[in-house]
């Protein structure tokens, strides 16, 4: 039986996590599904880890130089030899039946992209959508950004790869490919209840969330229809912007970094307004969600976050950390700002 699915794993200097992933994946591979590890010029023995799985026919594609994560992901799209491509992160643990479940899912699939369920976004039903608004009603922005939840029909996306390179600075080019598929009416998306990724403990991001949000907000500008731009920007604002700003508070250990936080807050805020975005607090009030059953806790959280950011936005640099330490904060943010173990931020690769 010829292979129909390529599982591409982009990686850089995470040999231990890669080995754990390959140990889960290798027993599931069949003639219909093969795996290739795309190594972004690692220096930690990644090549040797892959070599241990030579008997399971796991391929290795090493880059001569580190061209960044975006370039490494693009290699996965460019070199895919099969009908379907699963871009799998090295640190997203897969289920014991992930490959078999996926092979059943792509058989006679009516769509060109499959968005599978995840701990962030479980889907209530199997739904096929053909436009961007319908997609954003069914899935969260965070789940769409999660690379391991998406499966691509290679032929449908090959003509769209130029859009990937155009949007590579946004930190979401793989998500943008799927958005362009719908905006240009080139195909359909299947929202699937199938879960390939298992639950895993939450870990604070090891990359700069300030850098992420300042780059990710560029993504709506790459869409063509103004309505689609506003819709995507509104969802980024409602789901990501304020939370990422709050997570970014952990990075403020010098006056310069405090000033940077203030700059990012202002710049991203201006961009959101340019797209016609309303603040999350206005959205909650407009939809009369304050007293709706099941929404009261979320509404109070939005109010708390909005007030916290409003107070911090007018704090001078000299008194910023003093005020931050004394303001009431959600429990998750207190733990993030005062972790039991020191968190070292690493650059995105």
Is the model more confident about 205 or about 195?
Answer: 195
| CA distance from start to end of the chain | 36
d(CA 62, CA 41): 6
Say how far apart CA 29 and CA 158 lie, in whole Å: 25
The sign one gets for the Cα dihedral 234, 140, 251, 303 is: positive
Alpha carbons 161 and 151: distance in angstroms, whole number: 15
- What mean pLDDT comes out for the span 49-77? 93
Per the model's pLDDT, the better-predicted residue between 292 and 253 turns out to be: 253
Q: What's residue 101's pLDDT? A: 97
Q: Indicate whether 119 pLDDT > 90.
A: no
Q: What is the pLDDT of residue 347?
A: 53
Maximum average pLDDT range among 33-47, 115-129, 288-302: 33-47
Whether residue 217 has pLDDT greater than 70: yes
pLDDT tens digits for 227-282? Answer: 999 999 999 998 889 889 999 999 998 999 999 999 999 999 999 999 999 876 66
Whether the CB-CB separation of 249 and 330 falls below 8 Å is answered with no
* Reported confidence tier of residue 203, pLDDT bands at 50, 70, 90: low
- Residue-level pLDDT at 199: 73
- For residue 87, give every residue at least 6 positions away whose Cβ sits within 8 Å of its Cβ, in sequence order, or none: 8, 10, 73, 76, 77, 147, 148, 150, 152, 174
Check if the beta carbon of residue 283 is closer than 8 Å to that of residue 277.
Answer: no
Q: What is the mean pLDDT of the chain?
A: 89
The pLDDT confidence band at residue 299, using thresholds 50, 70 and 90, is confident
Is 343 a residue whose pLDDT tops 80? no
3-class secondary structure, 327: coil
Average pLDDT over residues 278-303: 65
Whole-structure pTM value: 0.89
Nearest to 14 by CA among 251, 239, 349: 349
Rounded average pLDDT over 219-234: 96
Q: Contact 299/288 with Cβ under 8 angstroms?
A: no
Cα distance between residue 295 and residue 235, in whole Å: 17
* Domains along the chain with CATH numbers: 5-195 (3.90.550.10), 209-337 (no CATH)
The token duo for 334 is: 């207190």
Note the pLDDT of residue 305: 85
């Amino acid at each position: 039986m010829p292979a129909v699915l390529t599982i591409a794993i982009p990686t850089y200097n995470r040999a231990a996590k890669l080995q754990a992933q390959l140990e889960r994946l290798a027993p599931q591979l069949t003639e219909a599904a093969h795996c290739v590890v795309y190594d972004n010029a690692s220096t930690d023995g990644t090549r040797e880890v892959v070599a241990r799985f030579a008997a399971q026919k796991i391929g290795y594609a090493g880059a001569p130089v580190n061209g960044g994560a975006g370039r490494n992901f693009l290699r996965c799209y460019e070199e895919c030899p099969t009908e379907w491509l699963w871009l799998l992160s090295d640190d997203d643990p897969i289920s014991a039946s992930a490959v078999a479940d996926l092979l059943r899912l792509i058989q006679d699939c009516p769509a060109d992209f499959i968005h599978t369920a995840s701990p962030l976004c479980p889907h209530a039903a199997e739904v096929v959508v053909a436009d961007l608004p319908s997609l954003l009603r069914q899935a969260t922005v965070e789940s769409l950004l999660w690379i391991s939840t998406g499966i691509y029909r290679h032929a449908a996306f090959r003509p769209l790869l130029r859009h990937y390179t155009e949007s590579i600075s946004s930190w979401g080019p793989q998500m943008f490919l799927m958005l362009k598929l719908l905006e240009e009416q080139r195909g359909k998306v299947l929202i699937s209840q199938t879960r390939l990724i298992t639950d895993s403990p939450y870990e604070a991001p090891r990359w700069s969330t300030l850098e992420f949000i300042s780059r990710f907000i560029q993504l709506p500008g790459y869409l063509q229809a103004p309505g689609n731009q506003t819709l995507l920007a509104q969802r980024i604002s409602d789901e990501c912007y304020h939370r990422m700003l709050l997570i970014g508070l952990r990075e403020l250990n010098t006056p310069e970094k405090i000033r940077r936080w203030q700059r990012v807050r202002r710049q991203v805020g201006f961009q959101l307004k340019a797209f016609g975005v309303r603040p999350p607090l206005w959205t909650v009030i407009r939809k009369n969600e304050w007293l709706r059953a099941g929404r009261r806790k979320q509404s109070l959280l939005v109010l708390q976050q909005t007030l916290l950011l409003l107070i911090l936005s007018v704090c001078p640099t000299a008194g910023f950390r003093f005020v931050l330490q004394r303001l009431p904060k959600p429990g998750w943010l207190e733990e993030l700002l005062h972790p039991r173990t020191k968190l070292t931020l690493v650059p995105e690769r």
